[in-house]
Amino acid sequence: MARPPGHGPGYEIKRQEIIDKAAALFAKKGYAATGIAEVGDVAGLARGALYYYIGSKEHLLVEIQDRVMRPMLANVHRIAALDEDPVLRLRMLSQTLLENILARLDHVWVYEHDYRNLRGANRARLLDQRREFEDVVQRLLEAAMEEGSFRKLDPRLATLQFLNMHNHTYQWINPSGEWDAGYLSREYCATLFRGFASPGNGFDDLEDRMCEFLAKRETATPEPITRAKGSGRAPSPRRRPARNG
């Protein structure tokens, strides 16, 4: 949402703070079970002042969903456009997806559990974004099949296998634990790609090529990443206990 005319930078800083605090609250209690007054309490604002920043409770949910999907769509389209083989691009996409999950754990919880509370155009837009993301994954899987790296699979089923392994990580991961996005992506992709592989393809050099890509990414000018407040804490009581240290 663009900053209204006449408002200084402090307005946007406060609005982003409200979104972060609301995401943590919704992740703990659920969107439907959380009243707007409770959001105001954690944000330190009366109802009128809160609406000044967020417009409505549903718009706040839209903002949380956007925090998840906007960077993910930008990243997956960038990765899909690279001049690299599809298996390496899938490995890149895997790590980017997991990095996003770990960086915004509360937002992802709300994204996965509470999108059904959106209505009308807001819900249709989110579902379109989800389909757009899934289509990128499916096209890369199909490209890997066409070039012979993967055996012929049902593209939709392969897409669901890829996404389900990644998308449920938010339910148990501990951001302070020993398993970071890079480790999880290596393990997930090793399992998936060996199952998808056509005879004779072991992808022995995949991690070496991924290291080369990451080295280039790290030497480039990094984009600032605003981590969600509380992302370094253990999961909230609503989540299942983390199992990775």
The pLDDT assigned to 200 comes to 87
pTM: 0.81
Percentage of the chain modeled with pLDDT above 70: 85
Helix (H, G, I), strand (E, B) or coil at 235: coil
Kindly give the residue spans of alpha helices, DSSP state H, lying in the chain.
9-29, 36-43, 47-54, 57-80, 86-103, 105-114, 120-146, 155-167, 181-196, 206-219
Mean pLDDT per 10-residue section of the chain, whose length is 245 residues: 58 91 94 93 90 90 93 94 95 95 94 92 94 97 97 97 95 92 96 94 91 76 42 41 45
The pLDDT assigned to 213 comes to 84
The pLDDT assigned to 240 comes to 40
